[in-house]
Amino acid sequence: MSVRVSPKWLALAAVLASAGPAGASFITPPPQGTGVELLARGRGAQSASVRADDRAQEQLLARGRGAQAAQTPAPRDTLRLPLDEAVRLALQQGEEMRGAHAFVRQTEGRVLQELSRALPHVSGTITYDRKLSSIFQDAVQDTSSEEAKILSAIFQNSSFAAKNTWSADLTAEQLLWSGGKVGAALRTARAANRSARASENEAASDLTYQVKQAYYDAAYAERLVGIAERGLEQARRHLQQVQSGQREGSKSEYDLLRAEVDAANQEPAVVAAERGHEIALLALKRFVNVPLDQPLVLATPLAFEDDLVPVVTERSPSLAERPALAAADYEVEARRQVVRVYRGQYWPDLTISSTVSHQAFPSGDFPTRGQFRRNWDAYLKLQVPIFSGLHVEGQVSQARGDYEKARADRDPLRELVAIEAAQARADLDHSLSTLVARRETVRQARRAWELAGVRYTNGMSTQIEVSDARLQLQTAEVNEVQATRDYLVALARLEQAVGHQVPVVRKTLDEATQSLNLEGTH
């Protein structure tokens, strides 16, 4: 028989043994009694010791779990994200806008650079010259005559032979005329900056459409999860009815097997819908720069407010506000001004400048204020290009080619934008017609499923008819949600194609159908 001895008692015995005879008084005398009683007492003490050790181990495990829980990071709070907030976060924090912002800053710097050529340039210079050796050193040291002394003093107080020379210069320069080069370059930079800003707006419009599409996709996937779960619940309720009927003897084993298989086949659809919802949320999180492990709840449902559909009032919205067209126009203007910049190189540049210089020649290392002498000069410079080896001619020819290419790229873009807008409007009308039809189909499929259940309860139909009616209802609901998503995405696509929000009026589906029939698009 093996006896379990607690480490706690072993440590106590070691302490008592190390205490020697003095520790013997702490030991209880051997108990009196029979062998059976002693054995029972030993077993009881042993079991009590085991229980105490188990309680100690449980306490240690509990403390370890508590420490581990304290070290585990707290879960993130659930983020409720409306559609407008998702668009704002994407435009503010999205990586897609960083390149457009950087390009705008580059063009702003180019404007400042070209503007600086038309402004005066002022610079200051302080120079210290230590003369280590000079060709006029002999003349400085020659004091043999009065003339030599005078000449030596002159050299010592000039930059020719002064040992220490301090010079402070202030220079100002202003371009008076450049043949139009500076003005054309400034207009080029400003046109490029406007083109960059228009391109930034175009990128923001594209990103807004992509975020809305991703948001509607996630909301659509969420609705699919609800439809699949309702289908599973309906299948399980029907299974319970069949099981009850089978116990009563009104349903056969075949009906029970069909109901069980039907309910089991619905479970993978729920799993697939949940998986699709997770993937759609990940795509949305990427646009709004939300951590992938951040719990996210969509606050804007995939539905129409008060069941009123937003219908576009304008048949052909204006394309004048499309940022892509504005960017192309500014690009053409910038290329036209570049031609003027290069043609201006045939003309001379007229520049005026002035320099104020203060010089001191101290005998020591540092001068005093009174030792400085002022010198002030003014210059007028005319620089005339005579022959540049046909370099300017080549630049002008290249600039004209770039200008013609920019015009050639702009004209097809206008046609493409018009086609995109027309196609977006046609898709919007088609999706509205589909939405009206799908809404009516759902109503009919729900009624058919209810009648199939009643017929099956009264023994007038089979399990196959009930299952088929339920699948048709589920398919109709999915098609209705798909039509709602397609209509909202088509509306966002139309706004992106025309470059601005389109005016809408909210109508019921019947009123929307009448408007489609009046326009001849149904």
In a shared domain, residues 130 and 237: no
| DSSP conformational letter for 73 | P
Give domain status of residue 94, yes or no: no
In a shared domain, residues 293 and 440: yes
Give me the domain span that covers residue 447.
187-330+418-519
In a shared domain, residues 354 and 237: no
Q: What is the CATH number of the domain that holds 150?
A: 2.20.200
In a shared domain, residues 148 and 225: no
What is the pairing mode between strands 373-383 and 349-360?
antiparallel
Sign of CA dihedral 450, 453, 458, 459: positive
Residue-level pLDDT at 49: 45
Give domain status of residue 114, yes or no: no
Residue at a domain's end among 48, 71, 94: 71
In a shared domain, residues 127 and 257: no
Q: Domain total for the chain?
A: 3
Q: What is the CATH number of the domain that holds 241?
A: 1.20.1600.10
pLDDT at 53 over 80: no
In a shared domain, residues 47 and 155: no
Taking the C-alpha atoms of residue 127 and residue 168, their distance in angstroms, rounded to an integer, is 6
Taking the C-alpha atoms of residue 427 and residue 433, their distance in angstroms, rounded to an integer, is 10
In a shared domain, residues 326 and 369: no
Residue-level pLDDT at 257: 86
Residue-level pLDDT at 389: 85
Which run of H or E residues covers position 309? strand 309-312
- Fill in the amino acid letter for 4: R
In a shared domain, residues 371 and 265: no
Give domain status of residue 255, yes or no: yes
Residue at a domain's end among 54, 71, 88: 71
The average pLDDT across 383-408 equals: 91
Residue-level pLDDT at 213: 95
Residue-level pLDDT at 144: 64
Residue-level pLDDT at 352: 95
Give domain status of residue 397, yes or no: no
Q: Where are the beta strands (DSSP E) in 466-512?
A: 504-507
Residue-level pLDDT at 57: 45
The model's pLDDT over 336-355, given as tens digits with 9 standing for 90+, comes to 999 999 999 899 999 999 99
Give domain status of residue 39, yes or no: yes
Taking the C-alpha atoms of residue 182 and residue 179, their distance in angstroms, rounded to an integer, is 8
Residue-level pLDDT at 75: 55
Residue-level pLDDT at 32: 42
The average pLDDT across 292-317 equals: 85
In a shared domain, residues 380 and 314: no
Give domain status of residue 409, yes or no: no
- Contacts of 36 by beta carbon, 8 Å cutoff, 6+ apart: none
In a shared domain, residues 203 and 291: yes
Give domain status of residue 66, yes or no: yes
DSSP-assigned beta bridge partners for residue 383: 349
Q: What is the pTM of this model?
A: 0.72
Between 18 and 341, name the one with better pLDDT.
341
In a shared domain, residues 160 and 309: no
In a shared domain, residues 362 and 437: no
The average pLDDT across 93-120 equals: 90
Residue-level pLDDT at 507: 85
Give domain status of residue 131, yes or no: yes
